[in-house]
Structure 1
Amino acid sequence: MEKSLPDALPEQSAQVPESQYVMIQSKGGSILLGPILGSLNIAANTKKLAEKYKDKYVGVDPFEISYKSILETNELITETPSYKLMPFVFIQECYDDKFRLSLVYHVENGSWTGRYTYHLPTQYTKENFSRPNLSDLERYRNELSIGADQLSKLLKADVDGKLTPSGKKIDFGSLYIVGNKMGGMGIYTMPEELHFPDTDLVEEGDDYVIIRRQGNMKATGLFGGLAFGVHYFKKDQLHTYNPM
């Protein structure tokens, strides 16, 4: 395991300083600025937001929590030097003024790259996120631990060749993947209208789904930069979920 961030991160994202956290937001773009200046302005605003919250939830280290989990469940990863596992958390500030967090296991082995994401159930208002109390932090730490255990199991299953698609395709959408409006000048596509067809369904339970999707990890958040890889979703985290 390595306490660092991968090179493949969404454009316009920003690392929260000295942490395993990556901030995603889309405010600051404008048709009047054009694509290049608009993108630079979004990136600058994201960096400011990352600086603002560096002393909040980021005091909880996802690396330490993930390291403990992976030691208990996945000897191959810890004993095989060719595997490089980098755990981190995406923080997405969404259009509804809520922060949604996702724990990520980013794994590299030679030319192969895998990404496994668990979307944490609690959504935070700006007030909650900027002033967490002890109860908030304890709940967050517990959710991270549950997420790490789930991702450790998924990674082990994949390394063992047991994380195979069911043969079914779905169309899905979630604010944890794209949480902001697309457009400008008063003409917007709401994120609830954005979804991803032709996605592999790996497993479905009563209240959860595990899916797998190809994608571009360096795309902006608005263009699906968080969509690549294996995802564990609770069904109430999806605004779109349809068989194809």
Structure 2
Amino acid sequence: MFKLIIKNLWSRRKRNGWLLAELMLVTVVAWVIIDPLVMAVVVKTTPYGYDTDRLVDISMGSYSYGMSGYDESQTDSASMAENAMRIYNRLKSNPQIESVTRKTYTGLGGTSYSSNSFKVDTVYIMSRTISFTRGDNYFTTHGIKSLPGSPSAEELSTMSYASPGECVITESLAKLMFPSVPNPIGHYLNENIEDFQPDEWDFKVVGVVEDVRPDPFQSVALTIFSPREALPLD
């Protein structure tokens, strides 16, 4: 039977050769053109998970020597921080502005971020970590929504975060890290490590929010929101 199949294939080798060439061409086209196109469409149509329509990203800078408006007496770090904070407070008190928050270099809408890996069973899951200033209306300003069983976005925006390791995670990360846990609040992201002993610097989940797309060029990322103390504006 096997010899008969080989004989038939060999007798039709020209026809089968063209068929093989066509299959290879279709594979190359699908791999090089269609696959990236599909991924681009998926990324483009995936919601950001936060309110981009009404969000304004403001950058502040200082005058350089020789520019109109340059004031040498205001160039020390204390004066620059004071002036930046004055602008920040003016924005917060503006009745046309609902909410203001300070953004770090790993903020939403940018491509800079730090990453962490956590073990689940025998595999490691990579996550993106975004820092935010605690008590600074971060989640309400961005319009990020919390999930049932988690503190509200308003509570997450104003809570003190008792230990340095307390964090907020996105829904997809919660499902991957705690597949059998109905509510991951109070659990640690690295608790699956053998002989794990909780420490105040470990990632302890205190809130879960809807998925976000931090990078405009990528789809939804597994994200950790890590609070930090307010740094002086420069």
TM score, norm. by length of structure 2: 0.26
Give the number of the structure whose residues are more often strand, by fraction: 1
Instruction: Tell me: higher relative CO, structure 1 or 2? Use CA pairs within 8 A at least 6 residues apart.
Output: 2
Query: Which of structures 1 and 2 has the bigger CA Rg?
Result: 2
